[in-house]
Amino acid sequence: MLQRLREEVVKTGRHLEVLRLVEARETVGIMQLSNETAYPHHKVRYSLRVLEDEQLIAPTNNGAVTTDEVPAFLREVEADVEDLRGRLETLRLTAGTGGKGNE
């Protein structure tokens, strides 16, 4: 039941890792990102496309660079993760109470 959520969290984590590396390098290509993350090229390319669609990175002739939108986005991510953490804790407590498996 939670498989899609798990997959989305993994994908989002990859996007954020790629974004942080682009931010640290400020002109980096797919090959270098793939080598540094150990993600296959096609996954790095997908993450870069998602980040570009969100206007967080911009392509250049020498590789990707971040945009001015990144700091606000990362603050928003932090707030959203805290909200999700609370919701997941509620879900965990709900699943763990009253069930026959906890007796």
Q: What is the pLDDT of residues 24-63, one digit of tens each?
A: 998 898 999 999 999 999 999 999 999 999 999 999 999 9
The dotted CATH code for 3-97 is 1.10.10.10
Does the pLDDT value for residue 103 go beyond 70? Answer: no
pLDDT at position 100 over 60: no
**In the chain, what are the domain boundaries?**
3-97
Handedness of CA 89, 91, 97, 99 (dihedral sign): negative
pLDDT at position 2: 86
pTM, to two decimals = 0.82
43: Cβ–Cβ under 8 A, 6 or more apart, which residues?
Answer: 14
Pair 58, 72: CB distance under 8 Å: no
* 99: pLDDT strictly greater than 70: no
Give how far Cα 41 sits from Cα of 19, 22, 44, 76, 82, Å.
Answer: 15, 15, 5, 28, 31
